[in-house]
Structure 1
Amino acid sequence: MTIVRGSKDCGNSPKNLFVQTVAVALVTGEFIADAFAEGALWRHPSGLIESRSAIGEWLAQQPKPDEITIAHAISHGRVGAASGTLVLDGQACRFAFVFEFTSTKANVVSRIESYE
């Protein structure tokens, strides 16, 4: 089971909490189908992943980290970002995601830019 340490940015912000939830899901390989638009795109360091179903398939193949720490999870309008560290097999790695949402409700992801 992955140990998750959340960001203090989420406080009483449902949008920031959603950003954190999606970031944790991406890092742990979980798939929250409702969080993604059908035509969602993910520009990942390993290549472009196109469509909600392709994102789900890719996540299902990923190893589960031992720990995740979300340093920041923020949102503004139709954009959000999350950054942090993960530990996988004893090795620490930093990550960052920039999310574009389908609307200012910030509850459905249409695009992800991913950095490691």
Structure 2
Amino acid sequence: MDFDERARPELTGLRASGDRVGVSGMSDGTADQLYFALRVAAIEECLGKAPGLPFVADDLFVNFDDARAVAGLEVLAMLARRTQVLFFTHHRHLVGLAERAFRGRLRAVEL
């Protein structure tokens, strides 16, 4: 099938029920989790081919609950073993969660 305007690709998620949902039908937190996963996958793909550029995250977990934020920060901690991770936030509680996730390998700077 040739690409045309009627057959534009669309990013969708799959619910536990098996139903598909478009990004516009997702909560802000779920959409942020999806985009975070795609960004990490893209950077990991690039790291396998060339020296890494820093991964810059600006208030990446603002729509995550604490459990999901910790999981995301642990992913960033693993990524930080391969490339520089710069995480900006104005949410103080995320700094504490990051300190736990990075297990002493975090340098926090408060402005």
TM-score scaled by length of structure 1:
0.29
Of Structure 1 and Structure 2, the greater helix share is in: 2
Of Structure 1 and Structure 2, the greater strand share is in: 1
| Greater relative CO (CA pairs within 8 A, separation 6+) | 1
TM-score scaled by length of structure 2:
0.30
